[in-house]
Homo-oligomer: A and B are copies of this chain.
Amino acid sequence: MQYSDFDKTKAFKTLSSLVQTGERFDYAAALAPGRIQGAIAPMAGGLSYSYAAKPVDETILAALQALADEQELIAKYKALLDGEPMNTGENRKVLHHLLRGRLGGDVIFEGKNLGEFYKQELARFSQFADDVHAGKITGSTGKSFTHAVQIGIGGSDLGPRALYLALEQWAATTGKKRLDAKFISNVDPDDASTTLAPVPLEKTVFVLVSKSGTTQETLANELFVKEKLKAAGLDPGKHIVAVTSETSPLAHNPAYLDSFYMDDFIGGRYSSTSGVGGVILSLAFGRDVFTQILEGAHEADALALETGVLKNASLLDALIGVWERNFLGFPYTAVLPYSQALSRFPAHLQQLDMESNGKSVNRNGEPVRYATGPVVFGEPGTNGQHSFYQSLHQGADIVPLQFIGFVESQRKDDVVVGGSDSQTKLKANLAAQIVAFAKGKRDANPNKEFAGRRPSSLIFGKQLTPRALGALLAHFENKVMFQGFVWNINSFDQEGVQLGKALTKKVLSGNSGDAALDAYSRLLEIERERRDMN
């Protein structure tokens, strides 16, 4: 297998030669009914990926296929599945797919079959959730748990939280809701204090999540929680479970009710389908719901093995994103779910994409000469329509759009106004926006003119169920992975977070050795407080 920088490929030259074709793409013609019906790639979980409103014609799609073939994207994915150390800088395997099921060979590491290890941990925390639900495991006063609070940050927070919110109402409506879940992440003490204020500590199980067991914010919040538990006369050891790696200080620690493990081959932002997401989601919704999320994700992972770009939605989405980023020059992507349940899904994708592909060196650590991951942002429609869509329609720059929508609501609690219910209005808005962005509108008054030519894709399905959600999650994980392969970067490390951590420690040491740090500390009066505490 060959690892080449993107700009050294033949496909890069071909795509460069097609830039004018892309810039002249006829969006109005592209939105013919035949293309809208035909330009759909199947996804897992009953979802579909529509790319009719993307600036790709047959020639460009053929060039993208050639790129996929030349950069051996599927072969690299297979190598990853088989346990090749694709996290090159850290020389680590990348095994989040294996959490959902096996698609490659057995992955053995230091004599351990990791697929079996992940299965065993899944079984253990599923049983734990069962026991909590059955009242076999209780808090220190013997009362059953009614609330679960996750303590974690970054990948231990955004993904699990987004998934919880995505299914909370579905679960409430279908009778699957078991425990109320909340999340503490920020080191800002107001976060923990606010979250804990309304929670019945006696009936709350805490899920402490840190792979390394050394995350500053998480350890501070752990102690915050422990002090509250003690102040309430409760035994922290009966209220906290840990999710961590077996080599962490949190592992095999009798101070916790139980501990569940992952390893260094599950990156934080890819860990929602491990115990990092699995413990809290199983507690909240039961093991069956979490299993359905895994099944949807596994189905998506299997589909992503398809070599034909038109049959592989995550590959196609990845390649169109590369086309827009590197050749059409759009530096951002907006994620716009027409589903209130997905309110925090854009924040998860923001981490997934920007932390994975916001890199400037290739997998060997050499600087690359082309743009990599875009800025990702988004809010649910229709809210965004009354906010930043003005700029998306008529602003100076073009922002590619990722719409997501469902035929049915989750709660099926609706009202008819003016001949249509709200769910129908929601979808009408979504259809209208796609067409408005693509086709625009001529007007004699330039202020009322819409240039159009704003590309978008649409992921759609019947309803946002656990299975659909798992597929949606894995779709984006695999999209980001394929883009990393195209760019020849390592999507699985995050060296860019280290410097801030190191300088924070210097500040807190009281002897930073850096005049700029000291000066900013004085603005924020960190010096004074340190003295006050002594």
Contacts and interface: CB of A to CB of B under 8 A. Distances in A.
Interface string A422-460: 111111111111111011110001111011000000101
Nearest to A332: B375
A224 B341 CA distance: 18
B186 A382 contact: yes
A478 interface: no
A359 B460 contact: no
Interface in A26-70: 31-33, 36-37, 40, 48, 50
A247 interface: no
B36 A523 contact: yes
Interface string A389-417: 11111111101000001010111011111
Contacts of A519: 31, 33, 36-37
Given A189-B423, A355-B387, A373-B395, A498 B448 contact: yes
Interface stretch (A77-85, A111-119, A298-306, A504-512): A504-512
A191 B414 CA distance: 10
A386 B431 contact: no
A465 to B, nearest CB: 14
A347 interface: yes
Nearest to A429: B504
How many of these chains are in the complex?
Answer: 2
Contacts of A507: 428, 431-432
A191 B410 CA distance: 10
Contacts of A37: 519, 522-523
B516 A435 contact: yes
A240 to B, nearest CB: 15
A190 to B, nearest CB: 5
Given A197-B172, A508-B425, A188 B382 contact: yes
Looking at A221, A340, A373, A445, the one whose CB has the most chain B CB atoms below 10 A away is A340
A529 interface: yes
B397 A331 contact: yes
Contacts of A433: 500, 503
A341 B367 CA distance: 39
A118 B433 CA distance: 36
Given A188-B426, A397-B375, A194 B340 contact: yes
Contacts of A416: 533
Contacts of A188: 338-340, 380, 382, 409, 422-423, 426
B154 A383 contact: yes
A394 B491 CA distance: 13
Given A358-B394, A359-B394, A460-B523, 8 more contacts: A37-B522, A188-B423, A354-B395, A358-B393, A385-B500, A386-B497, A392-B496, A428-B504
